[in-house]
Amino acid sequence: MGISCRNISYRYPNTNGFIFRDLSFEMPAPGFNAFFGPSGVGKTSFAKILSGNIQGYTGRVEMKGIERLAYSYNLERLPGWSTVGRHLDRIVPANRHALMHELIPVFGLEACLDQRFSQLSLGQKNRVNLIRYLLQDFQLLILDESLANVDEMTRERIILKIKEHFPETYFIYISHNVVEVSRFCREILVFRGLDKQPSSVVVTGQDLAAGKALDKAAFEKTVLEIMNAV
């Protein structure tokens, strides 16, 4: 079961340099893992390879027992011809409406349901977009900066709720927030760039869940390991 990527190398068509070379990544069990690294280092490109949006790479990508994969990113937009609430009602499968009503207050979206998507703030748009993904049928969801522009307290509430509600699902969380990936993710694939050897390392995170206390010393060690790797 799980995700196994071995020796992935990729160069965009008509460009000179590789984005990454011999990148490997393993995620044998469900949970929250992260991609972390400086802007432009290749996190989204790797996520697009995993999700099948980029072909033409070398190496091996295996998804065992994962057939339904979704990829959400923070620039996606919803149609503006109806209110957010009516749009969600229409696209969310009937058997998930109860979950939708459970998630809406956790996401802090009650006041947005009567508005049109174009009237929302960036953080509200990103939360609406993420909620519509969570209400679909998936086994792996890639969250590519899907909570950008959302305040820290709300992000924490959302992540803990996702972890609690989807314990058998694979999540890859792409974020620039070192504190967040250290606290909530089980393993963090740190992209270091092709000029460094090795060009990526895996750091163990704290994988915090609702109701659990954070081990502060272990958390600080994770943050330091990530910062040193970058």
Ligand X SMILES: Nc1ncnc2c1ncn2[C@@H]1O[C@H](COP(=O)(O)OP(=O)(O)OP(=O)(O)O)[C@@H](O)[C@H]1O
Residue 164 vs residues 87, 95, 129, 227: alpha-carbon distances, Å: 26, 19, 20, 28
- Near ligand X by CB under 6 A: residue from 6, 7, 9, 12: 12
Q: Does residue 91 bind ligand X (CB under 6 A)? A: no
Stretch that binds ligand X, among 23-31, 32-40, 96-104, 130-138 (CB under 6 A): 32-40
3-state secondary structure at position 53: coil
Q: Does residue 45 bind ligand X (CB under 6 A)? A: yes
Q: Does residue 43 bind ligand X (CB under 6 A)? A: yes
Strands 140-144 and 31-36: unpaired
CB of residue 38 to ligand X, shortest distance in Å: 7
CB of residue 41 to ligand X, shortest distance in Å: 4
C-beta of 18 vs 133, nearer to ligand X: 18
CB of residue 40 to ligand X, shortest distance in Å: 4
Q: Does residue 60 bind ligand X (CB under 6 A)? A: no
Q: Does residue 72 bind ligand X (CB under 6 A)? A: no
Radius of gyration of the chain (CA): 18
Whether the CB-CB separation of 6 and 143 falls below 8 Å is answered with no
Residue 11 vs residues 14, 30, 33, 105: alpha-carbon distances, Å: 8, 29, 25, 43
Q: Does residue 55 bind ligand X (CB under 6 A)? A: no
Question: Total residues at the site for ligand X (CB under 6 A)?
Answer: 11
Stretch that binds ligand X, among 11-19, 116-124, 181-189, 195-203 (CB under 6 A): 11-19
Q: Does residue 39 bind ligand X (CB under 6 A)? A: yes
Q: Does residue 175 bind ligand X (CB under 6 A)? A: no
Q: What's the CA gap between 169 and 120, in Å, rounded? A: 29
Q: What's the CA gap between 53 and 225, in Å, rounded? A: 31
Instruction: Kindly write out the interface string for residues 140-169 of this chain, putting x where it contacts ligand X by CB under 6 A and - elsewhere.
Output: ------------------------------
CB of residue 37 to ligand X, shortest distance in Å: 6
Q: What's the CA gap between 93 and 83, in Å, rounded? A: 18
Q: What's the CA gap between 116 and 111, in Å, rounded? A: 11
C-beta of 45 vs 199, nearer to ligand X: 45
Strands 140-144 and 170-174: parallel
Helix or strand run (H / E) with residue 100: helix 97-106
CB of residue 85 to ligand X, shortest distance in Å: 31
- Judged by the rule CB under 6 A, the positions of this chain that interact with ligand X are 12, 15, 19, 37, 39-45
